[in-house]
Structures are given as C-alpha cells and as structure tokens.
Chains A and B, each alone.
Chain A
Amino acid sequence: MRALSFITAAYLAVAACVSGMVSAHAEPPAMRGTGDLGIVIERASGSLLIVDTTERRTLSRLEGLGDLSHASSVFSRDGRFAFVFGRDGGITKVDLLTATIAKRIIQAGNSIGGAISDDGTLVAVANYEPGGVKVFDSETLDEISSIPATWRGGQSKVIGLEDAPGRRFVFSLWDAGETWIADFTKSGPPDVTKFKGIGSQPYDALVTGDGRYYVAGLFGEDGLTVLDLWQSQPQPRRFLQGYGRGETALPVYKMPHLEGWAVAGERLVLPAVGRHEVLWVDIRSFEEVRRTKVHGQPVFAVARPGGRNVWVNFAHPHNDVVQVLDSLDGRIVAELKPGPAVLHMEFTPRGHEVWVSVRDSNVVQIYDARTFEKKAEIPALDPSGIFFTSRAHQTGL
C-alpha cells in the first residue's frame, strides 16, 4: 500500500513537472537520481530547460537567469545543483530536482564562464569586467576570494578558467598573455603562480581529463601553449607553432572553444584558428600528427566519451552543418545538417547519444552517436549550451 501511494505521488510530481506547474515554489521532489539530467540554455530569454536524457524530454523550464549569451554551467558533486554562469556576471544555483533557483548573485559586470573545485566546495568565475577571477562558497555563494588580473596594461580580461586537481584553478589573461594558477589548498588567500609570455591573446583553454595538461589556444599567433601540471614547477611550452604556415588567416566569425572532451585516445583534437581545419596532436610529444580539412571554421571539436569519434561544429556562416571524424584516421565519416546555427553538442555520459542545439530552428536534436540517426527533437527557445550532470565527475568540465 505504501509502495502504491509512493508511485502515485511520484506520478503526480512528474505530471506536475510536465504541465509546468513546478517552478514558482518548491514542492517535494519526486524520488529520483540526477545522473541522467541536464540543462539546456535558452540564451535569448534568460531561461533554461531541465532535461531528462533517458526519456529524451524536458522536465521543466526555469526563467529569470539574466543575460545568458555565452552561458555555461558546472555541477555540484551530488549532481543536484547546476551553477550557471551568465554574461551579466550572474551566478545562478539551480536545483534540478525541485526546478527552482536556490540562489542567485550578480558578482561582476561581464563574465565568461566558471569552474568548480575538485572537492566541490569552491565555485570560481572568470570575469571580463572587472578583469579577474572571483571564488565563492558553493553552498552559500558567499565570496571567498577575489583575484584581480592585474598587469601593466590594467586589468586583463580572463578566459579559459579550469579546475585542476588539488583545489586549484588555472586561467589565462587575454590582454596580458599570461596563465595563472590559484591554489586554494590552504585556507586563507590562495597561492597564485603566474606564467608570463605564454603567447599572444589566449582565447580559451582546456584541462585534460587526467588533470595533467592545461592547454591554452592563442588567437594572436599560430600556436598553443601547454603547462604540465604534474610537474612541481611547470614550464609553459609552445606547440603547433606556425601551424598556419604563414598563410593569411581566414576571418573568424566566432571564437573556437577548447573546453570539452577534446582527447581522443592518445590524440588531442583542436580547432585551428582562421583555418578550416582540425588539428590532431600527440598527447605525449605535442607534435602534430595530422590535420583534417573540414567544412568551415571549427568552433567545438568534441570527442565522444571514449574517444571513438570527434564531432565538429562550425562558425557563421557554415554553422548549419556538423561533421563527424574517425579518430583512427581523421577521415570525415558523416556529415549532418541539423539546421541553421548549430551552437553546441553534448554527449550522454557514456556517449551513446549526442544532443545538438540548433538555435535558429528553436530545437535540440538528439542523435545516436554510433549510427548518426536522429532519435528525437525537443523544442527550446534559441538553445545554446547543453550541459549534463556527468560533468560533475569530470576534471576540466
């Protein structure tokens, strides 16, 4: 009898979610896990969808998250809360189970993304204005530390903020061409280590899933810089220098992104800047292995979990196409046409399906990651970033 009434209660809660009734006030959540949940950012309306990747459907829609252009998200260790970083300096802590905003703060004028520490206690955000990094208690969103990105030119815009093992955050300074490591191992103010001269205009960065390498992409020159975080005194090392071979770069209508599963087997997969190419680099030697000519300026080159294929989307005006590359030989094995303005791709935790946001069609499409067959489509308003809770357990995501 008790079991029956529980099932009834769960059914009612789910039904309430479907009809969009849960959102204004918190109701007791239906008993469920969060491992197959995620969010879809609706960039133009300051809202997001809470989605279920098993059922391939929307559970609820949340509004009031501010300016979500270029919004991104990280997750609490228990997979219950999403921390959504908005362009307007907002951090919104979203409870995925009750579909409510647990807390929301505006911490800067203009932000670009964030990270969560390996122990889940610290949430850090990279700011353009004022340039720097701020760090907050993940429970309360109270400010713990502020690190202005000061250099001789003033305060630099900060990009490529990533978590690294041992309560550390690594980030780069767009204007200054520096990478800093902020170490929060001890209580009190962090130990900040600065690496100068890492290259001109670092635009984004990634940390490999093993927490070993921090790779910063450079916009102002042909090349990237890697820091080996396993070394007690890491030295920045330039690689792929001159990959443009002196040819004039093509115009870049959207900055590529590096964060994501960009490691396929023993290869690092990177979007070239100003070239319609994806670059494959050996993860030990950092030598170029090959390059694949692709449809346009790549924005994301994301390896399917496990690394079997790499999915690539493109900048305007080639952004209606997705190409899938084979990690064995770099060949293009599929070309999909999801529609105008494909902005992001997110794999389910073990990579059996991939969700693709198609902004100008107002849909998220769901593909089988092996057969490339479209399985489902869900409506969303100007969808951009898609983030699943499995990120909670991945270094660098």
Chain B
Amino acid sequence: MPDRRHIWGWVSVMTAMGIGSAAAQSPSPDLERLVRQDCGSCHGLTLKGGLGPDLRAERLSGRQPEELAQIILDGVPGTAMPPWRPLLSQSEADWIANYLLSRAPE
C-alpha cells in the first residue's frame, strides 16, 4: 500500500458520509493495487491462484462477503494465508471482499 494515510482518509470520509460497511462500487485505487500486487504475490496478479487459491469472482460465487472479510482479517490457520488485521481495518477488508466478489473476468 503506497500511502496508508490516504486510505485512512478515504475510509473516514466514507464513514462520515454514513456509507455502510462496504461500498464495492466506490473506487479505491490503493486497495485495488494492494489486492493485485500484494495479495497477487500468492494468488497471482490476475488472482487466478498460485500458492494460494483462485480468487476470481466466478470461483467465489456463493461465498458471503462477511466470510471473505473474516478470512482476510484473521487468516486461515494451517495455511500460508496470514491475518491482515494488523494492516487492514474492518471496512477495508469489507471493501476487498466485495471487490473480489464483483470483479469482472479478465
């Protein structure tokens, strides 16, 4: 993430505007870049999978955003998926979950 202050600013603006848990339609270039570049180091730049599983929307269909957000925040014990809670807020994880579920195929 190039600039965390920017993301915090964005999240607090969103909160101030009363926007709920996840606004997947709101653009967040920094979070999107985090997903592609940093999540991408295990899940692939196009998120088709690598050491970690395929995260393309069609593969995630049926999964709930809350469930994905929790995996992002707490990780998956026994696997290489780390908990992101030290680095991401609940609303950032919610945004990522919705982003993953709604991405158009590449």
Which residues does A use to contact B, with CB under 8 Å?
43-44, 67-70, 87-88, 110, 112, 128-129, 157, 159, 174, 201, 203, 219-220, 251-255, 316-317, 340-341, 359-360, 382
- Note all chain A residues with C-beta closer than 8 A to B46: 67, 69
Q: Is B12 an interface residue (CB 8 A)?
A: no
Asked if residues A70 and B2 are in contact (CB atoms below 8 Å), the reply is no
Q: Is B24 an interface residue (CB 8 A)?
A: no
Asked if residues B50 and A128 are in contact (CB atoms below 8 Å), the reply is yes
Asked if residues A69 and B83 are in contact (CB atoms below 8 Å), the reply is no
- Note all chain B residues with C-beta closer than 8 A to A157: 51
Asked if residues A69 and B49 are in contact (CB atoms below 8 Å), the reply is no
CB distance from A385 to the nearest CB of B (A): 12
CB distance from B25 to the nearest CB of A (A): 24
The answer to whether A340 and B2 touch (CB under 8 A), given A69-B45, A255-B42, is yes
Overall SS of chain B's interface: loop
Complex CA distance for A251 and B38, rounded to whole angstroms: 14
Q: Is B21 an interface residue (CB 8 A)?
A: no
The answer to whether A316 and B45 touch (CB under 8 A), given A112-B50, A201-B80, is no
Complex CA distance for A33 and B44, rounded to whole angstroms: 35
Determine the residue in chain A with the shortest Cβ distance to B82. Answer: A251
Asked if residues B41 and A69 are in contact (CB atoms below 8 Å), the reply is yes
Determine the residue in chain B with the shortest Cβ distance to A316. Answer: B38
Complex CA distance for A88 and B46, rounded to whole angstroms: 10
Partner of B82, one of A174, A253, A360: A253
Complex CA distance for A112 and B43, rounded to whole angstroms: 12
The answer to whether A255 and B83 touch (CB under 8 A), given A110-B44, A360-B2, is no
The answer to whether A255 and B80 touch (CB under 8 A), given A69-B40, A128-B51, is yes
Q: Is B104 an interface residue (CB 8 A)?
A: no
- Note all chain A residues with C-beta closer than 8 A to B82: 251-253
- Note all chain A residues with C-beta closer than 8 A to B75: 251
Determine the residue in chain B with the shortest Cβ distance to A128. Answer: B50
Determine the residue in chain B with the shortest Cβ distance to A339. Answer: B2
Asked if residues A341 and B50 are in contact (CB atoms below 8 Å), the reply is no
B interface residue count range (under 10 / 10 to 19 / 20 to 34 / 35 or more): 20 to 34
Asked if residues B37 and A251 are in contact (CB atoms below 8 Å), the reply is no
Complex CA distance for A112 and B49, rounded to whole angstroms: 11
CB distance from A45 to the nearest CB of B (A): 10
- Note all chain B residues with C-beta closer than 8 A to A251: 75, 82-84, 86
Partner of A70, one of B48, B50, B78, B87: B50
Partner of A67, one of B2, B38, B44: B44
A69-B50, A128-B49, A174-B51 given. 7 additional CB < 8 A pairs? A67-B48, A110-B50, A159-B51, A251-B82, A253-B82, A253-B87, A317-B1
Complex CA distance for A359 and B1, rounded to whole angstroms: 11
- Note all chain A residues with C-beta closer than 8 A to B42: 254-255
Asked if residues B45 and A219 are in contact (CB atoms below 8 Å), the reply is no
Partner of A252, one of B1, B37, B80: B80
Asked if residues B49 and A129 are in contact (CB atoms below 8 Å), the reply is yes
Complex CA distance for A359 and B37, rounded to whole angstroms: 9
- Note all chain B residues with C-beta closer than 8 A to A88: 48
Complex CA distance for A253 and B38, rounded to whole angstroms: 8
CB-CB contacts below 8 Å: B1-40 with A = 1-2, 36-38, 40
Asked if residues B41 and A70 are in contact (CB atoms below 8 Å), the reply is yes
Complex interface bits, B56-92 against A, C-beta within 8 A gives 1, otherwise 0:
0000000000000000000100101011101100000
Partner of A219, one of B36, B40, B49, B80: B80
CB distance from B45 to the nearest CB of A (A): 4
Asked if residues A44 and B49 are in contact (CB atoms below 8 Å), the reply is no
Asked if residues A341 and B37 are in contact (CB atoms below 8 Å), the reply is yes
- Note all chain B residues with C-beta closer than 8 A to A382: 37
CB distance from B32 to the nearest CB of A (A): 12
Determine the residue in chain B with the shortest Cβ distance to A253. Answer: B82
CB distance from A6 to the nearest CB of B (A): 44
- Note all chain B residues with C-beta closer than 8 A to A69: 40-41, 44-46, 50
Complex CA distance for A128 and B54, rounded to whole angstroms: 12
CB distance from A179 to the nearest CB of B (A): 17
Asked if residues B51 and A87 are in contact (CB atoms below 8 Å), the reply is no
